[in-house]
Amino acid sequence: MSKLNGKVALITGAGAGIGAGIAKTYAKYGAKLCLVDASPIVEETAAKIHDAFGVEAIGVVADVSKADQLLDAAAKAKEKFGRIDVACCNAGVCRLSPFEEHSAEDLDLTINVNIKGAWNTCKAVIPYMLEQGGGAIVIASSVTGDIVVDPGEASYAMSKAALVGLTKALAVEYAARNIRVNCTQLGYARTPMTEKMALESCPEDPESVFTEMAKAIPMRRLANPTEVGELTAFLGSDEASYLTGSQVVIDGGSTLPETVSMGV
C-alpha cells in the first residue's frame, strides 16, 4: 500500500512549478487531489495528473488571498471526497526590487498571498480536520528569510520567515488534536517564479543566473519540483506521525558553505 493511499490532499498553487510537482508526487503515492490555483491552468494540470496517475483530481480556481474563495475550495474538496487529510500551503509570489523602491502594492501582494494565503488555507481546512479527528498541514516556507537572503527580497524574506512562526503556532495549538503542522524550506528550484526572477536579475542573460546559482550549491544543481514533492509527501503522510512544528531544509546543501574560498 502506498503511503498516501486514500488520503485527500488540497494543494494550493498547484497549477505550475513546485505545486504541480507536489501534486504529481501525491498522485504517485495514491492521494486524491483538490488542486487550487489562481490560474485556470490548474484544471488542465488536474486532468493531466488524473490521466497520468489514475487518481481522482479536481482543479479549483481560487485566489488564496481571498478567505471566502479558500472556504469554497475546501468545501468542494469535502463535497467531492468526503474529507481533507492533508493541506499543502504552497501558493506564493516573489516581487524583487531594492527596498527603497519596493512599492506598497508589491508589499501588500506578498503579504496577502504568502502569509494570508497560508493563513486562509489553514482556516479553511482545519475545521474539517478537527471534525474527522486529525490531519496534516505542510507549509511552503523557504530558506530565504529564516536562514539566508539575497538583495531585493525584503518583502518575500519577511513573508517566508513569518510562515515558520505560523507553522510553530499552529503545531502547538493543534498537536493534542492530532493535526500536525510542518514547513519546508527549499533552496532553489527552476520554476516559472525563478525564471522570472532570473530575467529580472539579469535581463541580458537570465540563463547565467541559474548557471552561477548551481555553481554555488554544493550539489551543483537546483532542486526538481518532484524532489520537493517527496519531502512534502513524507510530511503529509502517517510516516511523519511524530513530526510537528518542524522546519525541514531541502537545499542541496546551499545554506552550508561558510566561505567560497576556504578549503577549495
Ligand X SMILES: NC(=O)c1ccc[n+]([C@@H]2O[C@H](COP(=O)([O-])OP(=O)(O)OC[C@H]3O[C@@H](n4cnc5c(N)ncnc54)[C@H](O)[C@@H]3O)[C@@H](O)[C@H]2O)c1
Cβ closest to ligand X, residue 179 vs residue 249: 249
> What is the smallest separation between the CB atom of 6 and ligand X, expressed in angstroms?
26
State the minimum distance, in angstroms, from the CB of residue 261 to ligand X: 26
Which residues, 6 or more positions from 205, have their beta carbon under 8 angstroms from its beta carbon?
none
Q: Are 234 and 182 in contact, with CB atoms under 8 Å apart? A: no
- In the numeric block, the cell 508589499 is attached to 107
CB of 262 to ligand X, least distance (A): 27
Contact 121, 87 (CB under 8 A): yes
All cell numbers assigned to 73: 475550495
Give the whole-angstrom CA distance, residue 12 versus residue 184.
14
Nine cell digits for residue 199: 530575467
Give the residue ranges of DSSP H helices in the chain: 17-28, 41-53, 67-81, 104-110, 116-132, 154-174, 192-201, 206-216, 225-236
Catalytic one among 26, 156, 174, 188?
156
Closer residue to ligand X, CB minimum distance, 38 or 129: 38
Q: Least distance from C-beta 209 to ligand X, angstroms?
A: 12
Instruction: Note if 156 is an active site residue.
Output: yes
Toward ligand X, which CB reaches closer, 142 or 201? Answer: 142
Residues engaged in binding ligand X (CB under 6 A):
12-13, 15-19, 37-39, 63-65, 90-93, 113, 117, 140, 142, 186, 188-189, 191-194
The residue among 149 and 242 lying less far from ligand X, judged by its C-beta, is 149
Q: Which residues are tagged catalytic?
A: 156
